[in-house]
Structure 1
Amino acid sequence: MGKKKQSYLASSGFSGFGFSDGVLKGVVKKGYNNPTPIQRKCIPIIMDGKDVVAMARTGSGKTACFLLPILHHLREHDNCSGPRALILSPTRELALQTYQFFKELAKYTGLRASVVIGGSSIDKNFEALHSQPDVIIATPGRLTHVLMEMELKLANIKYFVLDEADRLFELGFCDQIKLISKQIGVERQTLLFSATLPQTLTEFTRIGLHDPVLIRLDKDEKLSEFLKLNYINVRSVQKIPLLLYLLCEKLHNKDKTAVFLPTRHYVEYVHELLTGLNVESTFIYSSLDQEARSENISKFSNRARVCNILLVTDIAARGIDIPVLDNVINFNFPCSPKLFVHRVGRVARSGRSGTAISFVTSEELAYYVDVQLFLGRPISLADKDSSEDEDGILGGVNKETVADYFDKINTIASLEGADYESLRETADRSLIQYAKTCPAACHESSKRAKDLNLENLQIHPFLRLKSTDTNVQDFLNSIKNYKSSKTIFEVNPTKNMNAFQVMQETRKRHGESIEDFSAKKARKEAENSKHAQQKVADGFIPYNSTNQHFEKGLEISQFEKEIRSSAFDVIVDDEKKLAEKRSQKVWDRKQKRYKGISENNKKITTESGAKISASFKTGRYEHWLKNKGNAKSGDRNFEDFVKSTQAENKHNKGRNELKNADQVAKVRRQKARKMEFDKRRYQEKKSRHENKSGKGGQKFKGKGKKKK
């Protein structure tokens, strides 16, 4: 029996990493046989104890990369040392998903984990920490609040993991992460996993990690090879009818489909329309109650349920693993290529195929060009010869299919009455506010989008009618592309028509301007071509050093070199965003003046978005301890651990710490300013005294005593 058990464990491809038997049992029980490419690269380096910055696309198996080595090194449950590993996740759903994954892998090790997330009473978080966990899985906002309430330092943390780190920093958790990292011991191993590497995250990796190793698997492809992309050019008023047509008729009834909508009001609006059409759907968004969120996700993920449509906002764009997802629909086109990659990355995972359908209005064409440039793919427009097997085509919409659902929406509106109108108006207003928050596409993409000729754009192959009568389709296309050469004022003109003469003069004037513009453009292109040929003829070879800092002897490490080439920001540079944020002013009611946002250094943002003081403490923890009742032995051990850290904090408060160079420079600047102020004040006081006393007055003695 023992030999069979050993051979069963050895059959797994994970046995080569040297994991303990308990960890290997959990891997085999989970059904994993062979590690993914990112796991083969990351796990040996993490097992050696090195800090790691890992970049790979969504769905590549990054979670197991840090969970398996942590389980192996922690070995078994320790009732006295407190938490030994901390995993930070950007969203509650991802934290719960990681916790569930941990329980499945740690089934045979005896290790415990606790989740500390918002959306529920903070008393549950206190109770979770008192259960003596070996691993804490948390969101930064709630964990920061809990650590403040308990006055707790996690000095025994040996593994510090930032999961979906780019999302953590995009959501504004930078201050919380820095506060949490100060509460963790210096002797720790930091693991940072991300799909992209924005500039703000690059700066953090230089400060918070010790000689890290950069692992990249995102160079060759950013999307799965099994993912099919469809882009559909629509007008804004056609989006809702087209969405209903896709969900009710085009997509297979058994397919799991996620629809990304701009705001929660739009989620509620579309959900109401689907309910009116007797189509079951579920939804999640940020302000939804945590219990309702969990219930709706399980309702959609469960194969036994009938619900196959999930309506979401961007809260689920990353980190939510729904392995049975078949389709993704982008109702509004993402304003960032990174966001597009993570939205459509929900499908075509673990070898499965999937389809991503994105609606593109004329205002969103620049974002579409951004995405194609980011993915390194050509911009291809649908024509008569385009087939449904082609990938990444931008095509038009079939007006016949959309027209039917216009009528159905009107029927639902007549039945619902005022409630429907109120819901629709609220959704439209929220869409206007959402559009204001979207950054503009880059200038080059906007320029290319304007040059796209969509007049002859054919219906997307995905939406074409399955009919043998092609004459009807050709006739409809000819009507769609028809453009009259005359205006209404130029039809059947008479001698007394002033409008006809005005139009003729306008055409003549505009024609001259168009000819001048075309001639200038042709001359410029000819000059550029001649200049390029002259460079080649003269033997001109452009050269820019790719490693100037290394040549100057200023390069610090190989990691610095690699991370500079890895960092990117496609739409707007992060430094520009930070500069804009620093320039913003808000009205301070107490000080009766406008203050810069950057002046508010002593405030942090909680998970709910509220700003609180960095030393915020309500006494909830002490109140919870009094009402807790009889404590278990594990609780008493943890209470001793908390008391020791609180005593250490009080002891350290009075201790004079060594100042760094910036602090010393700041003190010197303050002293210099004070001396200059005192000197100027002395001179002013002296001049006033001399003016008052005159030439024969008494000599000024400064701060000396007045003569009686």
Structure 2
Amino acid sequence: MAPRASSPALSENEFDIFDALAGGDGVQQESGLAADLGVDLGIGSDDGSDDEAFIAAKQAAANRKNANAPGKPGKKGGGFQAMGLNSALLKAITQKGFKIPTPIQRKAVPLILQGDDVVGMARTGSGKTAAFVVPMIEKLKTHSAKVGARGVIMSPSRELALQTLKVVKELGRGTDLRTILLVGGDSLEEQFSSMTTNPDIIIATPGRFLHLKVEMGLDLSSVQYIVFDEADRLFEMGFAAQLSEILYALPASRQTLLFSATLPKSLVEFARAGLQEPKLIRLDAESKISPDLKSAYFTVKSGDRDGALLHILENVIKMPVGETETAKRTKENAGKDSSKKRKRGDGNPKDAPIEESTIIFAATKHRVEYLSTLLRAAGYPVSYVYGNLDQTARKEQVADFRAGLTRILVVTDVAARGVDMPHINHVINYDFPSQPKIFVHRVGRTARAGRKGWAYSLCRHVDLPYLIDLQLFLGKPLVVGRSNKEPNYAEDFVVGSLAPYQLESSVELVNKQLSDDEDLANLLNVAEKGERQYQRTRNQASNQSVHRAKELVADPKFAETHLLTNDDMHDALRAKEDMLERIQGFRPAETVFEIGKRGTGSEAAEIMRKRRVAVERQKTKQQLIRAIENGSDLPGLPADQSPEMEVESDHDQQPAEGDYDSDSDELEVTVSQPASRKSGNDNWREDDFFMSYLPKENAAEEKAYGVQGGDAGNANFMSAARSAEMSLVNDELKGFADASKARMRWDKKSKKYVARANDEDGSKGAKMIVGESGQKIAASFRSGRFDDWRKANKVKMQRVGEIEAPNRSANQNGGRHYKHKAEKAPKQADRFRDDYHVQKKRVQEAKDKRVGHFKDNGAKSELRDVDTVQKQRKVQEKRKEKNARPAKKRKF
């Protein structure tokens, strides 16, 4: 058998675990696994559960043997069967459509099954979700009768959490694992009820999960498996306090996994996540975005950005206006009889995907509202999503876009990470991202799983430094101008402008909409205010990129149109611009009455010019002489400057021919300004001798991958580590500074003075409480709503580790089941109804059975039998004993 070739282009941060898992010692590994199973499962006993475990182990070993058997091309060591998964999970993977594991799955799944902590990085669309869901289902296997969740998955956004729930449900179809979703915006009472069903897997956002943990007093000691999906985004979004509180409650023996498309090389920033000897899997470090993605970058003016967006939709993407075909079919089906069987493919996005489907990214929620209204007024069906939108509305908007009822989805960065929408073919960056890794996540929504896709980015002059940062991060050659006639949009960084005549019609349409619709103009005003606030708070570009951006603007090729514009249109535009330039540069010949500084040609014009120069010189001399005599400042010069004056006699200097000849006794005064001390060349670095202390290789990449905090209380781990140095001098100086610095500040939101310490922990003056880990959390997390709900529904919470109560899963509230056995007598038959005979028959049957008020042949008896009298007497005696006081004597 030929030896397996090593993986190509492995970096220093990658390692190939295939040789360790499917190498020459595969027989020893199988025997070792069987020995482990024999010890752990107790093979040889008479217990039925042990027999099932033994059969499952044999089946897994057979799967590995069949996968590695010779004569089966395409599956040797690369299929899911070689990983030792159970048959139910393999069947679910096949039904899902997965045939061969992706590189991140091939490397991560075996390590996770071994119980190692894993940090995984791979580009978007590479199957990271399945890389941690498959081993989780394999390790948990079935529902546990013991109370307590065993798996937790943390997601930064609600849409990503919903998608992860869908994947877990599909891959766990053959098991009885219980999975619940805990995200913000949903009803707390429903989530209380879900937590009482003893779930095995919890998929949640950090804020809502911590809320339920504090409110319900959850015990997380049973958690064995925790995943941080899009880990760097979790730390950036301000979840540091929530994650610290959650991690403090988890057991030390847990298995922790971190996955993201953009992770820094150094794991120091993630040390607070509590990893224990993690294994780093860092793939696609060279190709950060999909090779099937084509991108174009357009430079536009700020006022033409809306018109450029409409131009791209209409002329580049060629998106039609009006309703989609799916929306038309849905309306047609709504008018038909609902009892008829629905035809296959009606409204199904998988049967008829929309080729023009586009997702537009904006920076603020106000800009999303404005763009959605503008595009809807232009005739496009639009869906929109942003963070503060109601959860029900977010689900409806995303569902409409997935179902094909709309062609455009306008979102903020809330949908930039992890959301899998396979039918997206175009991505437009309306607001250029301030960080390169945000761009990677945005464009990762298209060109997924082998599909093609386009990404268009609008860049203003204020965004050019961020454009240079992105070009350095991606490492693609920069193509500016039209020198390269056949660029490769997948491998080159092609930058160009949009021709003004191309945007004229779109800009006029936008201006007309703004003038006709007052609400749209108000939305634009609010969006511009929000954008100014966003620009003040976004990250700064590097200094080198700022200098390079200035050089790029000075390049004459920078103003040329983009290469997506054909040559004929570009040549016509260039001819028009040359003509306009010649018209602007035209200067007519001056007459003797219009003589100025540009006068040339005639002898009279030259005489008048020299005469004017002599008059101006005479005025300047007189002003300088008066200033010297009076001792005042020189006219037109600042007082702090001391010009050098040279007084010479006109006898020493012969006047030139044509100069004005003044009196011989007149003095010549010359004023010379001091030369600028600023050197023209301020670059003190010599490339041949200068050695930088910063690494040149991958410096821009690691800086872009790094986790940057959003505020003062969310600083990254590296800055916190640098500030932990010991310096007695600095401590003394800091003590003097703290003594003089005010400890309180005015908070505009709460309208009161708050402690400055709240700025460091991120509370910002809000009412906070200290959690178990010492972190400050919101005081609203302990509102008592769970206690009220538990008392109202009579629910008894079981402790972690107890055996689950019977029929627990069927009853959502966790209480007892009551079976009502009471039989009610029917009403008297109405002779004017059509079913009179049927009702009469039911009444007669009730009389025969003596049900309800039909006892004793329809007459209610007032006589009491012996048992009834004795029962009433016993009740009265118990009441007397309970009250412990004598009864009042009656007076006759």
Task: Verify same fold: TM over 0.5.
Answer: yes
What does 1:226-237 correspond to in 2, within 5 Å?
226-237=292-303
Alignment equivalent of 2:576, drawn from 467, 476, 481: 476
Match of 2:104 in 1: 38
Q: How big is each residue's C-alpha offset from its partner over 1:351-405, in whole Å with a ceiling of 9 and x where there is no partner?
A: 1111111111111110001111111223321225433644311101121120001
Q: Does 1:401 align with 2:560?
A: no
What does 1:202-601 correspond to in 2, within 5 Å?
202-205=268-271, 208-253=274-319, 254-302=355-403, 305-387=404-486, 389-390=488-489, 391-416=492-517, 418-452=518-552, 453-457=554-558, 459-461=560-562, 463-464=564-565, 466=566, 468=568, 471-478=571-578, 495=609, 520=681, 528=686, 532=689, 568-570=702-704, 574=708, 578=712, 586-587=745-746, 594-598=756-760
- Tell me by how many angstroms 1:407 deviates: 1.7
Q: Equivalents in 2 of 1:387, 1:118: separation in Å?
A: 49
Q: Does 1:621 align with 2:789?
A: no
Q: Equivalents in 2 of 1:483, 1:364: separation in Å?
A: 33
Q: Equivalents in 2 of 1:487, 1:603: separation in Å?
A: 73
- Alpha-carbon contact 2:434-2:466 (below 8 Å) kept: yes
Letter in 1 for 2:519: D
Match of 2:592 in 1: none
- Alpha-carbon contact 1:248-1:279 (below 8 Å) kept: no
Q: Which has the higher helix share?
A: 1
Q: Equivalents in 2 of 1:512, 1:386: separation in Å?
A: 51
- Alpha-carbon contact 1:586-1:597 (below 8 Å) kept: no
Q: Equivalents in 2 of 1:128, 1:240: separation in Å?
A: 46
Q: Equivalents in 2 of 1:162, 1:315: separation in Å?
A: 17
- Tell me by how many angstroms 1:124 deviates: 1.6
Q: Equivalents in 2 of 1:103, 1:360: separation in Å?
A: 41
CA spacing shift, 1:487–1:629, aligned 2, 3 Å? farther
- Tell me by how many angstroms 1:597 deviates: 1.4
- Tell me by how many angstroms 1:635 deviates: 6.4
- Alpha-carbon contact 1:149-1:617 (below 8 Å) kept: yes
Q: How big is each residue's C-alpha offset from its partner over 1:586-613, in whole Å with a ceiling of 9 and x where there is no partner?
A: 437776664451267894899xxxx854
Letter in 2 for 1:161: V
What does 1:106-255 correspond to in 2, within 5 Å?
106-198=172-264, 202-205=268-271, 208-253=274-319, 254-255=355-356
Q: Equivalents in 2 of 1:574, 1:272: separation in Å?
A: 33
- Tell me by how many angstroms 1:290 deviates: 0.8
Letter in 2 for 1:48: Q
- Alpha-carbon contact 1:455-1:481 (below 8 Å) kept: no
Q: Which protein has the larger Cα radius of gyration, Structure 1 or Structure 2?
A: 2
Q: How big is each residue's C-alpha offset from its partner over 1:649-705, in whole Å with a ceiling of 9 and x where there is no partner?
A: xxxxxxxxxxxxxxxxxxxxxxxxxxxxxxxxxxxxxxxxxxxxxxxxxxxxxxxxx
- Alpha-carbon contact 2:769-2:779 (below 8 Å) kept: yes
Match of 1:692 in 2: none
- What number of residue pairs does the alignment pair up? 591
- Tell me by how many angstroms 1:247 deviates: 1.4
CA spacing shift, 1:182–1:423, aligned 2, 3 Å? same
Structure 2 unaligned spans of 5+: 1-61, 68-74, 320-354, 589-595, 618-635, 637-670, 721-740, 797-805, 816-892
Letter in 2 for 1:598: E
Letter in 1 for 2:785: R
Answer with 483-492 or 125-134: which moved more.
483-492
CA spacing shift, 1:398–1:209, aligned 2, 3 Å? same
- Alpha-carbon contact 1:382-1:395 (below 8 Å) kept: yes
Letter in 1 for 2:429: N
- Alpha-carbon contact 1:175-1:604 (below 8 Å) kept: no
Q: Equivalents in 1 of 2:244, 2:780: separation in Å?
A: 14
> What RMSD in Å do the two structures reach over aligned CA positions?
4.1
- Alpha-carbon contact 1:141-1:605 (below 8 Å) kept: no
Letter in 2 for 1:379: L
- Tell me by how many angstroms 1:23 deviates: 0.7
Q: Equivalents in 1 of 2:505, 2:268: separation in Å?
A: 51
- Tell me by how many angstroms 1:428 deviates: 1.6
Q: Equivalents in 1 of 2:173, 2:101: separation in Å?
A: 19
What does 1:45-60 correspond to in 2, within 5 Å?
45-60=111-126
Q: Equivalents in 1 of 2:699, 2:483: separation in Å?
A: 42
Match of 2:650 in 1: none
Q: Equivalents in 2 of 1:360, 1:627: separation in Å?
A: 57
What does 1:546-695 correspond to in 2, within 5 Å?
568-570=702-704, 574=708, 578=712, 586-587=745-746, 594-598=756-760, 603=768, 612-613=777-778, 616-628=781-793, 633-634=807-808
Q: How big is each residue's C-alpha offset from its partner over 1:311-358, in whole Å with a ceiling of 9 and x where there is no partner?
A: 111111212111111111111111111111111121111111111111
Aligned with 1:87: secondary structure?
strand
CA spacing shift, 1:513–1:214, aligned 2, 3 Å? farther
Q: Equivalents in 1 of 2:521, 2:780: separation in Å?
A: 46
Q: Equivalents in 2 of 1:420, 1:428: separation in Å?
A: 12
Match of 2:31 in 1: none
Q: Does 1:81 align with 2:147?
A: yes
Q: Equivalents in 2 of 1:222, 1:190: separation in Å?
A: 25
Q: How big is each residue's C-alpha offset from its partner over 1:455-504, in whole Å with a ceiling of 9 and x where there is no partner?
A: 3335444541x575765233135368889789999666984999xx99xx
Letter in 1 for 2:389: L
Q: Equivalents in 2 of 1:486, 1:434: separation in Å?
A: 45
Q: Equivalents in 2 of 1:368, 1:156: separation in Å?
A: 47
Aligned with 2:686: secondary structure?
helix
Q: Equivalents in 2 of 1:384, 1:480: separation in Å?
A: 23
Letter in 1 for 2:808: G
CA spacing shift, 1:459–1:90, aligned 2, 3 Å? same
Aligned with 2:808: secondary structure?
helix
CA spacing shift, 1:591–1:409, aligned 2, 3 Å? closer
- Tell me by how many angstroms 1:26 deviates: 0.8
Q: How big is each residue's C-alpha offset from its partner over 1:107-162, in whole Å with a ceiling of 9 and x where there is no partner?
A: 11121100011012211211221222110000000000101111111111110111
Between the two proteins, what is the percent identity of the paired residues? Answer: 35
- Alpha-carbon contact 2:298-2:562 (below 8 Å) kept: no
- Tell me by how many angstroms 1:180 deviates: 0.9
Match of 1:558 in 2: none
- Tell me by how many angstroms 1:442 deviates: 0.9
Q: How big is each residue's C-alpha offset from its partner over 1:428-474, in whole Å with a ceiling of 9 and x where there is no partner?
A: 2121111111121011111111111343335444541x575765233
- Tell me by how many angstroms 1:81 deviates: 3.1
